[in-house]
Amino acid sequence: MSKSLTILVTGGAGYLGSTLVPALLALGHRVTVLDNFMFGQNSLAHVCADPGFQVVRGDARDEKLVRTLVAKADVIIPLAALVGAPLCARDELGTISTNRDAVIMLCKMLSGDQRVLMPVSNSGYGIGEQGKYCDETSPLRPISLYGRVKVEAEAAMMAHANAISFRLATVFGMSPRMRIDLLVNDFVYRAVHDRAVVLFESHFKRNYIHVRDVTRVFLHALANFGAMKGQIYNVGLSDANLSKWELCERIRAHLPNFVFLEAPIGEDPDKRDYIVSNAKVEATGFRPAHGLDDGIPELIKGYTMLRNSRYSNV
C-alpha cells in the first residue's frame, strides 16, 4: 500500500476512530477527522503533531460541510453514529438523522471512484436460529432502533459500487476514547471494581472482536480493495461465539474472585442471540490477531487507571 491516500473519517475521535486514525497516519495517509466531540474527548491529541492529520469540529449531518470534505477525499470511512441500543432509544431523532440519514446524504455526494469502508453492527441478525450460523446471506431481523437504522444505512451504502460493509461483532478492548458500556468491557470493569455481576438472559450468545482488529480489517480492505469491494463481511472472532455466562467464565479465568449469577432482572434491547460465521472475511486472508484472552488482561490493566463514567456512552 505505497500510495498515500486522502481519507475522511467522520466520527474519527470515537472508540473505533481513535485507534484507526493513528494507524492510517502511520502508513503515510493524509487523514481528516470530522467529529462533534460530544463526549469532550481528546483521544486524538497524540497525533496532532502529524502534518498529515487534519481535524474539523462539526456535524456529519451538515450537508455543506460534508460535501466540502468529501470532495477532497479518496476514501471515506463513516464512523459518526450514536452507538448502542440504550443511547439510541434515548435520542431517536438523533439516531435516525445521524446513523441513517447522514449516510444516505453521503451516498449522494460520492463519485464513482471514491471508496467507502463502512462499519455496521451484526446486531441486525436479531435472534438467530438455534445451532445455525448467521452469514452474510442470512435474513436480517433487527429489533432495536439502533439495529434497524444500521441495516437501512448499509442497504443505502451498498448501492455504491466502491463500498465495503463490515458487520462488526461486539467490540472490546482499550482505546484512547474508551467505552466501558460495551459488553466485554462492562463485564471486566465490574469484575475489577465490583468483583460481581448479575446476569439476565445469560444463555444469549453473540460474537466478539477486538478494537485493534477492527482497525486491522479496515487496513486489510484498503490493501485488498479491488478484490473485496461491493461486498459485506461479518468481522468477529470465530472461536468466540459465546453466551454471557461463558464470557464470564473466561473473565473468571483471569480474575478468580469474580462472582456472577443469574436473575430475571432485565432484557437485552437488541435481543442479540446468534452465532456468526466469519468465514467470508477469513477467505480474503484476514485473521483477527487479538483474542479474548489477550483483551481481558489488557482491560484489567486499563481499569487500574480508569474509574469514571465518562468512558461510557450511557
Torsion sign over Cα 140, 81, 10, 237: negative
Q: How far apart are CA 91 and CA 82, in angstroms?
A: 9
Question: Domain for residue 1, yes or no?
Answer: no
The three state secondary structure string of 284-305 is CCCCCCCCHHHHHHHHHHHHHH
For residue 301, count CB atoms less than 10 angstroms from its CB and return exposed for 0-12, middle for 13-18, buried for 19 or more.
exposed
Q: What is the pLDDT of residue 118?
A: 97
**pLDDT of 1:** 45
Q: What does the pLDDT look like over 153-191, one tens digit per residue? A: 999 999 999 999 999 999 999 999 999 999 999 999 999
308: Cα separation from own chain's centroid: 21
pLDDT at 241: 96
> What pLDDT sits at residue 108?
96
pLDDT at 309: 65
Is 90 inside a domain boundary?
yes
Instruction: Look at residue 102 and tell me if it is in a domain.
Output: yes
Residue 264 lies in a domain: yes
The answer to whether residue 23 is domain-embedded is: yes
Q: What is the pLDDT of residue 129?
A: 85
Run means of pLDDT, 10 residues per run, the chain, 314 residues: 87 98 98 95 96 98 98 98 89 96 97 96 88 94 92 96 97 96 96 95 95 98 97 97 97 98 79 92 98 98 85 66
Phi, psi torsion values for 199, nearest 5 degrees: -100, 145
Q: Which CATH number does the domain housing residue 288 bear?
A: 3.40.50.720
Contacts of 299 (CB under 8 A, 6+ apart): 172, 173, 174, 184, 185, 188, 189, 192
Domain ranges, residue 199: 6-311
Helix 292-305 to helix 183-193 angle (10° resolution) is: 50
Share of the chain above pLDDT 70, in %: 96
Question: How do residues 44-78 score in pLDDT, each as one tens digit?
Answer: 999 999 999 999 999 999 999 999 999 999 999 99
Q: Is residue 44 in a domain?
A: yes
Beta-carbon contacts of residue 155 (< 8 Å; ≥ 6 apart): none
Flag whether 99 is in a domain.
yes
What's the pLDDT score for residue 2?
Answer: 57
Contact residues for 98 (Cβ-Cβ < 8 A; gap 6+):
60, 61, 80, 81, 82
* Contact between 287 and 241 (Cβ < 8 Å): no
| Number of structural domains the chain divides into | 1
Q: Provide the 3-class DSSP secondary structure of residue 192.
A: helix
